[in-house]
């Protein structure tokens, strides 16, 4: 199913910016190509795509009235050379050449702490500039782009097969979500639907991916509060999910399994039994760990009231995933716009208002329970039949474009693709949920102590690679 797409005038483009400012619509993505700027929105009547012709490589800035668009517009200039007229922050973003002027913080007794790009742990690179008064963070500014690999440029002109591989490597932890978003966008462009069994297997893989990542994250947050036993226990659960994924689909992270046209492989013959015993293990061990999390005062002392993100900011930035849902924003791409087979599955979308580290942990805890229930339902209803149908992407009628929004573990992943008459990808853009979460981390840490930053950062767990493209 494709979204309505219109080519709009500069006035209409600016009107859309006004609707975003008044929060009558929320921004899903903003990207460009030579000659055109594109924007995806959730309007009250559904998801839409707007395109604005850029005469003289210029278009009216959305970031001028709607701050969440600022980094997207800075990136668009770095990648495509389109200028946003009136963009409030003209500094480069993904392109690193020359010195970078960090935003100032003024006042008595302030000092700066530069961190990164190479961090102390086994994590991705990025630079964080803290301005602190003693222990208290006055301002945090992130500088990203260190892992910019030029994905948009590599995708242009790639075959569908190669493009799917690239999509699956935009952010390795969300490889299933990305491959699914890309495949759905291609299928929307070509107006074809994959075999029913593939649709259900994709959801199975996506929920396994969500389980693995949520286990990893909950354990890591506890570890950053120096509570190592939880880290060890959740590491055990995560490893069991990955081993099950490996036995079921032939790859621990399930890379390159979801492809346009279906799945590259079927569930292994003993897959159902393996997943059933994985669920039994989770149901046995997980509640015990949740109880420990909830009843350990020294752990709760670190997570409750730490790094609060206000619901107003989460709404303004249209924050997806646990970041949004822990701050009152009930949005889940599996429901809006929604995609098969979730229309035939029962699940809740947990939401809380508190917005602190604890809330983001609790959303994950509840989503683990939901995912386990979803996997059970999927196994029960899994249709039989083929899992792949070859895709013929060539057409004499000219280029066709498609768009899809998929709920990864971190939030909604947007994929937009245009396929040329030769069947190759003409342009493709993939937008990570982190684009709208990174700026919120800067807001959430304000007024907290420096030592709580790892905890806040882990509770957001934004993707560097997915953001840097």
Partner 1 sequence: MRRLLFKSLVQGPLTEPAPTADDAAIVELAASVNRSARKQLGRTLAIRQVDAGSCNGCELEIHALNNVFYDLERFGLRFVASPRHADVLLVTGPVTVNMREALERTYAATPDPKWVVAVGDCARNGGVFAGSPACVGGVHHVLPVDLHIPGCPPPPVALLRGLLALLESASRD
Of 26 and 240, the one with the shorter C-beta distance to partner 1 is 240
Stretch that binds partner 1, among 117-125, 201-209, 261-269, 345-353 (CB under 8 A): 117-125
Total residues at the site for partner 1 (CB under 8 A)? 48
Q: Which helix (H) or strand (E) holds 11?
A: helix 10-21
Task: Give residues 1-30 in contact with partner 1 (rule: CB under 8 A).
Answer: none
- Identified binder of partner 1 from the candidate list 43, 83, 239, 389, rule CB under 8 A: 239
Is position 177 an interface residue for partner 1 (rule: CB under 8 A)?
no
Residues 6+ apart with CB under 8 A from 397: 421
Of 215 and 416, the one with the shorter C-beta distance to partner 1 is 215
Residues 6+ apart with CB under 8 A from 454: 224
Cα separations in angstroms, 264 against 185, 258, 305, 391: 17, 6, 45, 12
Is position 296 an interface residue for partner 1 (rule: CB under 8 A)?
yes
Closest to 253 (Cα-Cα) out of 408, 377, 127, 147? 408
β-strands 412-419, 400-407 pairing? antiparallel
Cα angle 62-178-223, degrees, rounded to a multiple of 5? 95
CA distance 29 to 435: 9
- Identified binder of partner 1 from the candidate list 295, 298, 384, 397, rule CB under 8 A: 295
Minimum CB separation of residue 199 from partner 1 in Å reads 25
Tokens coding 20 = 């975003």
Task: Give residues 80-99 in contact with partner 1 (rule: CB under 8 A).
Answer: 96
Minimum CB separation of residue 408 from partner 1 in Å reads 13
Is position 229 an interface residue for partner 1 (rule: CB under 8 A)?
yes
Write the DSSP symbol of residue 337.
I
Cα angle 157-159-163, degrees, rounded to a multiple of 5? 90
Is position 170 an interface residue for partner 1 (rule: CB under 8 A)?
yes
Is position 457 an interface residue for partner 1 (rule: CB under 8 A)?
no
Of 42 and 282, the one with the shorter C-beta distance to partner 1 is 282
Of 426 and 468, the one with the shorter C-beta distance to partner 1 is 468
CA distance 376 to 120: 39
- Identified binder of partner 1 from the candidate list 86, 121, 338, 383, rule CB under 8 A: 121
Give the start-end residues of each E strand in 54-165.
Answer: 58-60, 83-85, 110-115, 127-133, 136-143
CA distance 205 to 163: 20
- Identified binder of partner 1 from the candidate list 288, 392, 422, 446, rule CB under 8 A: 288
Is position 166 an interface residue for partner 1 (rule: CB under 8 A)?
yes
Is position 169 an interface residue for partner 1 (rule: CB under 8 A)?
yes
**Three-state DSSP class for residue 42:** strand
Of 92 and 420, the one with the shorter C-beta distance to partner 1 is 92
Is position 300 an interface residue for partner 1 (rule: CB under 8 A)?
no
Binding mask 135-154 for partner 1 (x = CB under 8 A): ----------xxxxxxx-xx
CA distance 206 to 200: 10
Of 59 and 293, the one with the shorter C-beta distance to partner 1 is 293
Is position 298 an interface residue for partner 1 (rule: CB under 8 A)?
no
Is position 194 an interface residue for partner 1 (rule: CB under 8 A)?
no
Minimum CB separation of residue 290 from partner 1 in Å reads 12
- Identified binder of partner 1 from the candidate list 73, 173, 187, 407, rule CB under 8 A: 173
Is position 280 an interface residue for partner 1 (rule: CB under 8 A)?
no
Closest to 251 (Cα-Cα) out of 172, 340, 308, 134? 172
- Identified binder of partner 1 from the candidate list 162, 272, 315, 335, rule CB under 8 A: 162
CA distance 319 to 315: 7
What backbone torsions phi and psi does residue 25 show, to the nearest 5 degrees? -140, 160
**Contact set with partner 1 (CB under 8 A):** 96, 117-118, 120-125, 145-151, 153-154, 162, 165-166, 169-173, 175, 216, 229, 232-233, 235-236, 238-239, 242, 246, 252-253, 255, 288-289, 292, 295-296, 463-465
């Amino acid at each position: 199913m494709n979204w309505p797409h219109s080519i709009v005038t500069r006035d209409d483009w600016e009107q859309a910016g006004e609707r975003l400012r008044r929060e009558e619509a929320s921004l899903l993505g903003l990207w460009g190509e030579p000659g055109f700027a594109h924007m995806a929105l959730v309007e009250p009547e559904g998801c839409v795509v707007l395109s604005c012709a850029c005469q003289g490589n210029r278009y009216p800035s959305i970031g001028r009235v709607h701050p969440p668009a600022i980094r997207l517009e800075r990136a668009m200039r770095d990648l495509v050379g389109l200028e946003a007229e009136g963009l409030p922050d003209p500094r480069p973003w993904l392109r690193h050449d020359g010195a970078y002027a960090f935003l100032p913080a003024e006042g008595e007794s302030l000092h700066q702490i530069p961190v990164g790009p190479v961090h102390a742990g086994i994590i991705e690179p990025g630079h964080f500039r803290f301005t602190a008064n003693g222990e208290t963070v006055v301002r945090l500014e992130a500088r990203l782009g260190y892992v910019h690999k030029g994905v948009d440029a590599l995708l242009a002109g790639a075959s569908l097969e190669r493009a799917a591989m690239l999509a699956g490597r935009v952010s390795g932890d969300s490889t299933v979500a990305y491959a699914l978003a890309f495949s759905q966008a291609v299928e929307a462009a070509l107006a074809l639907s994959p075999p029913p069994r593939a649709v259900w297997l994709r959801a199975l893989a996506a929920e396994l991916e969500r389980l693995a990542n949520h286990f990893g994250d909950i354990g890591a947050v506890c570890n950053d509060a120096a509570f190592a036993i939880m880290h060890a226990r959740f590491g055990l659960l995560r490893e069991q999910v990955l081993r099950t994924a490996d036995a079921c689909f032939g790859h621990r992270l399930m890379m390159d399994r979801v492809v346009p046209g279906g799945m590259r492989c079927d569930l292994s013959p003993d897959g159902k039994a393996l997943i059933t015993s994985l669920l039994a293990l989770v149901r046995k061990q997980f509640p015990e760990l949740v109880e420990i999390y909830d009843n350990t005062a020294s752990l709760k002392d670190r997570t409750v009231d730490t790094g609060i993100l206000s619901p107003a900011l989460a709404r303004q930035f249209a924050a997806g995933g646990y970041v949004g849902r822990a701050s009152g924003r009930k949005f889940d791409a599996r429901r809006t716009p929604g995609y098969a087979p979730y229309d035939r599955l029962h699940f809740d979308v947990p939401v809380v208002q508190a917005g602190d580290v604890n809330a983001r942990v609790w959303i994950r805890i509840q989503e683990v329970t939901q995912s386990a229930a979803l996997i059970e339902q999927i196994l029960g209803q899994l249709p039989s039949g083929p899992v792949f149908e070859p895709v013929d992407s060539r057409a004499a009628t000219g280029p066709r474009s498609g768009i899809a929004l998929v709920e990864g573990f971190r939030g909604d992943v947007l994929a937009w693709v245009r396929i040329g008459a030769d069947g190759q990808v003409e342009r493709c853009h993939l937008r990570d949920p982190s684009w709208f979460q990174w700026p919120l981390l800067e807001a959430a840490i304000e007024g907290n102590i420096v030592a709580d930053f790892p905890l806040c950062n882990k509770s957001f767990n934004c993707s560097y690679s997915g953001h840097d493209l």
